[in-house]
Structure 1
């Protein structure tokens, strides 16, 4: 097994509880900006005692995206934005981050950047043709999953663009902006709970497991590695559209997402009619007398459409039997005797929700396997989409830790050739663990919580998760605040960062209309109008405007605390 230093020198995989060298250099430079900002605020400290401050944006779909933007605008106006060393987000907050970091030095011209983002978000969406072209490109990857589908079909609906640049393209080592950290979770580790490390971060330099301390260069994340931690097969670095989908792949519970996706896939397939006709024409050009192949194109397409309708039937509590029988009949007629599909449809109780779901998942997967008698590029993509839906595969990438020999890495991280990554909101809707790494030495965390309902869930759950690690302060919420949150909370402890918790909707900025605002700005709904965007930005901004003096006070306290350490 290579030593940590040798691994670091290899440029491939690094297993070490330390910061990447490039991050260290950037942070040192950024701390000079923070120092100058503190002087302007008349918060005096020596350059060696500058506090490390992290700003966190929780998940919450477009609500989080717009809420973070509104908060940053007010932080800038208050002269506090340049005090931020790290900016970390999950889910919808990463959509805002991706938009910001398109612009070099965005924090120095935020008003202009804000206007540009709002104009895009309130403008026309991405065309079906461009979304399809993007999906075809994703289909060329080794590990295609629903994250690729979500990127092309859903993320484009909300962010209104296809950003094909990469995270390393976005980043300039001389940037004047806070250091960005995008966070997701490892699905397998989430399911196995105490076996492994679910917290996965992606920065401009490295991607990897925050607590374990196992990282790979961001441009190499998704590539295949040998057991000696060297690259075996290089994959292109993921683009920003895919990264936003990877981080923001949960806007509701599974059933709601599933229905949303099936409906999107239904519309998408219907829009492929002209493409399917072209495929049939191409087959006819090869052999004008071969009507069988021409018919096969349309029959294959019809089977796939019927599969979509069948799944929608089950989700809408309707009997899919006729569609199933039609699919089986078509397969028998056009498989040339090679079809092996045989399902006892009459033995399935479609009135029983779980039984019906299980049946259609297995049936969909097997039909796609059986459709080998004709498959153009377009139909191959459609088949792969349906297979991913049946298996519910999200965020699949090669595992850069597969079979390496290192006792410091949990065994569950070594077992599979691939790992599945998903929205961190499925486990914890805030990126605390990215900034709780000891080597980042964070003194003050400002947590902007854009969660849909429980305003204290992220901070209380983080405290519970950190109890044995002793890296998080005690959290005590007044009983009367549980349903009527205020706009500013501070939690402190010994030898741990101070945490400021700011719920988006509260009795200060919303009065007695907290529930009304939550309902109006739901996570899972159509893109917000320009008027809604402006209102939400104002509401989020008020949380900073109303508490700018308290924020300065806590930054001053962090300076005093650091001076005593």
Structure 2
């Protein structure tokens, strides 16, 4: 990035553009390969001239503002630029120009922050203007006045010039939401030129902001031989404006881009603007008395190690094909069909759960046991879980054929663990074991958190010995379609934002881990590894599955948020369908910021390397239907604040938002026809359903209307079936209630006088004996809950079979009317 107020310099830069910004195409370079590649996108030269401000507000009561403007365009440069400071002035004038190379296919949001420079305290950020560069037409120079406070006629005047860069191409890979750009590798060589008599070690530190590596060190011993060389590397966006910062040993040296030999203290970093060099060959950038530093660029383009796309992965498609054969046979049996179902007549059935600690883990075993007894378990293609229901799932999927075996075996095993004392998990030996495992995990490259300790504790609670089971190991359990495909759900959050402001659905399957709204997925065995721009840079061992399992914010949420409003651009620019309005953000202040940081500090968060690191958002990402389907926070319209810049994903229990594992089941690509929703939450048994129904309505996600009468809400039944449009799945919802269980021990089998106590199961509140925080049950309470959930399924066999039969009929009707030979009229 360069700064100047002189238009002749602009002309000079344009005339020498290929050399100046280091963008060139060598004949031997080969582009990255990708399916459905778009037209070669255009790189552009953006000039931003900060002209002046008018009627600038005071930052405090004592003096006029000492004002400067910061510019941040993260899609072009990771470094902020800023104007000089104009002191004690109400109408500061700068006339300073800044230059950026931008990719037009990327959503480029320029942030202009007006600041007050302070001597003894941190500088005040008065306001930030977020401006969509897509508003500027190539070849036009536009001068805009941003109205910061129309009442006081406070304005910021800025001039923009956008010009295409001719003859320069960049291959990108995109799914319409995320963009992966070309990556280059800069090799930095430190060569020994003569023996150094000093007995001290010499340390070299190289820094390239915005690269994957960021900082690299090289050490040379006191007796390094002449001709010896050490090399380090930086991976960075090829068409950017990188600078290499060098902290070098102090000695006489030659600056290869200056004149004369001089001694200089080089303890402070020296900056080398790489865009001014021809990096196609090795270039010496510094030569000392005993060493020289040279650099060259290697094309690092290769196939992506993540999948950008909203479709199902090939492995899941293959699974569905195999599973449909199992489901077809099971449906023929339970529905007493006369003929075999064809593949396109087989409905996709999913089991969805809600969280609730050991209560939900135990209850899910009871529900699955009953579904198996009815023959319905073989009709299910997906099982999704969150929080403690994932304990049930991970336990079952340790056996590659669990659904084909009698579930009384694993239930007996889990009964033993739930009813045993948990004091042994806190023994000195166990605490040492936890410490050693966390140290091993840290050494492998994972970031360790309190949640990892909790995962080890749960593992100890559910197993007699250490479990080394991994998510990818569960591929064996679905390889032949012998079991439903398990899907685990989590939420990605940000440290300084409440769940109300930022949350993203993350799904885990044995094949992939992905974020729904971005359409970005990595292989399950690669989750936790380090990525940059879609390339796996450092392989980190896959986590054991125990590490993957996973405060009211409303009252303070509104007044601690920064004030956001749309502002006008004058003159008004032609409106484009995918551009964003110019936004003004005014910070609330230090008190609100401190409170927000305190209240959004989450001790129970799992931290993993962000596999979206470096990827950029497509210019039209907000028009993408798949993104819009899952976007639901204010940050979704603020691309600079979304997750591609973050080093880590921060995963929390989905129940912090809505207590259901339904979202991944409703991905349109999965084409689910029937949902069996098993609710195990404490307190209100309709709240998760109400919240998720409202969520689907707001986001245009096909979901049946779930209206319940007041009578039903006060006296809940064991099962409700909701069905309306053909676009929405059929929903069978099972609250955790004791409707007829108090009187019947099995469908149509009344309890005797001595059996009435077994029907008294208080699940109406989250108080003991089934409280969410309770980890140990008596054997009697375990059996009561297990039997209750099994009974609720068995007693509603007719409703389940009705839903399945309706789904089959729907599929047949759809097939009939979509057939080429069918009539166009129903």
Hey, what does 1:200 align to over in structure 2? Answer: 506
Provide the C-alpha distance between the structure 1 equivalents of 2:601 and 2:309, rounded to a whole number of angstroms.
38
Worse overlay, 17-26 or 161-170: 161-170
Worse overlay, 494-503 or 163-172: 163-172
Hey, what does 1:444 align to over in structure 2? Answer: 674
> 2:778 pairs with 516, 529, 534, which one?
529
Deviation, 1:517, is: 7.0
3-state SS of the aligned residue for 1:487? coil
Hey, what does 1:212 align to over in structure 2? Answer: 518
Hey, what does 2:658 align to over in structure 1? Answer: 428
Deviation, 1:180, is: 0.3
Hey, what does 2:730 align to over in structure 1? Answer: 498
Hey, what does 1:71 align to over in structure 2? Answer: 367
CA separation of 1:89/1:515 partners in 2, compared to 1, >3 Å: closer, same or farther? Answer: closer
CA separation of 1:64/1:34 partners in 2, compared to 1, >3 Å: closer, same or farther? Answer: same
Q: Mapping of 1:128-143 within 5 angstroms?
A: 128-140=431-443, 141-143=445-447
The structure whose residues are more often strand, as a share, is 2
Is the aligned partner of 1:14 residue 2:307?
yes
Root mean square deviation of aligned Cα:
3.0
Hey, what does 1:472 align to over in structure 2? Answer: 703
Q: Mapping of 1:389-404 within 5 angstroms?
A: 392=603, 394-404=605-615
Hey, what does 2:528 align to over in structure 1? Answer: 222
> 2:412 pairs with 99, 115, 133, which one?
115
TM-score with structure 2 setting the length: 0.49
Provide the C-alpha distance between the structure 2 equivalents of 1:191 and 1:174, rounded to a whole number of angstroms.
43
| Cα distance per residue 1:311-348 (max 9 Å; x no partner) | xxxxxxxxxxxxxxxxxxxxxxxxxxxxxxxxxxxxxx
8 Å CA contact retained: 1:184, 1:200: yes
3-state SS of the aligned residue for 2:651? strand
> 1:181 pairs with 487, 504, 516, which one?
487
3-state SS of the aligned residue for 1:59? coil
Deviation, 1:197, is: 6.0
Q: Mapping of 1:531-550 within 5 angstroms?
A: 531-550=780-799
Deviation, 1:536, is: 1.1
Hey, what does 1:151 align to over in structure 2? Answer: 455
> 2:713 pairs with 451, 467, 482, which one?
482
CA separation of 1:507/1:20 partners in 2, compared to 1, >3 Å: closer, same or farther? Answer: same
3-state SS of the aligned residue for 1:430? coil
| Cα distance per residue 1:430-458 (max 9 Å; x no partner) | 11101000000000100000001110111
TM-score with structure 1 setting the length: 0.70
Provide the C-alpha distance between the structure 1 equivalents of 2:474 and 2:611, rounded to a whole number of angstroms.
23
Provide the C-alpha distance between the structure 1 equivalents of 2:175 and 2:360, rounded to a whole number of angstroms.
38
Provide the C-alpha distance between the structure 1 equivalents of 2:408 and 2:602, rounded to a whole number of angstroms.
44
CA separation of 1:4/1:111 partners in 2, compared to 1, >3 Å: closer, same or farther? Answer: same
8 Å CA contact retained: 1:123, 1:160: no
Structure 2: gaps of 5 or more residues = 1-171, 181-301, 554-590, 622-626, 628-635, 744-759, 815-826
8 Å CA contact retained: 1:104, 1:175: no
Hey, what does 1:335 align to over in structure 2? Answer: none
3-state SS of the aligned residue for 2:616? coil
Provide the C-alpha distance between the structure 2 equivalents of 1:510 and 1:417, rounded to a whole number of angstroms.
53
Provide the C-alpha distance between the structure 2 equivalents of 1:98 and 1:510, rounded to a whole number of angstroms.
32
Provide the C-alpha distance between the structure 2 equivalents of 1:552 and 1:190, rounded to a whole number of angstroms.
47
Provide the C-alpha distance between the structure 2 equivalents of 1:29 and 1:128, rounded to a whole number of angstroms.
44
8 Å CA contact retained: 1:505, 1:518: no
Provide the C-alpha distance between the structure 1 equivalents of 2:716 and 2:459, rounded to a whole number of angstroms.
31
Deviation, 1:547, is: 0.5
Deviation, 1:157, is: 3.8
Deviation, 1:402, is: 1.8
Is the aligned partner of 1:231 residue 2:536?
yes
3-state SS of the aligned residue for 1:455? coil
Provide the C-alpha distance between the structure 2 equivalents of 1:526 and 1:70, rounded to a whole number of angstroms.
18
Aligned length: 428
| Cα distance per residue 1:496-552 (max 9 Å; x no partner) | 111111012242335786456753211102322333222211011011110112111
Deviation, 1:474, is: 1.2
Provide the C-alpha distance between the structure 2 equivalents of 1:463 and 1:216, rounded to a whole number of angstroms.
30
Provide the C-alpha distance between the structure 2 equivalents of 1:29 and 1:102, rounded to a whole number of angstroms.
20
Deviation, 1:167, is: 0.9
Hey, what does 1:265 align to over in structure 2? Answer: none
3-state SS of the aligned residue for 2:383? strand
Q: Mapping of 1:89-100 within 5 angstroms?
A: 89-100=385-396
> 2:739 pairs with 502, 507, 527, which one?
507
Worse overlay, 155-164 or 502-511: 155-164
Provide the C-alpha distance between the structure 1 equivalents of 2:766 and 2:417, rounded to a whole number of angstroms.
24
8 Å CA contact retained: 1:121, 1:160: no
CA separation of 1:42/1:490 partners in 2, compared to 1, >3 Å: closer, same or farther? Answer: closer
3-state SS of the aligned residue for 2:702? coil
Structure 1: gaps of 5 or more residues = 248-252, 256-354, 363-388
Hey, what does 1:41 align to over in structure 2? Answer: 334
3-state SS of the aligned residue for 1:237? coil
RCO comparison, higher one (Cα < 8 Å, 6+): 1
| Cα distance per residue 1:104-157 (max 9 Å; x no partner) | 110011233333333344346543343333233233334111211221245534
Provide the C-alpha distance between the structure 1 equivalents of 2:647 and 2:538, rounded to a whole number of angstroms.
13
Provide the C-alpha distance between the structure 2 equivalents of 1:465 and 1:184, rounded to a whole number of angstroms.
17
8 Å CA contact retained: 1:442, 1:497: yes
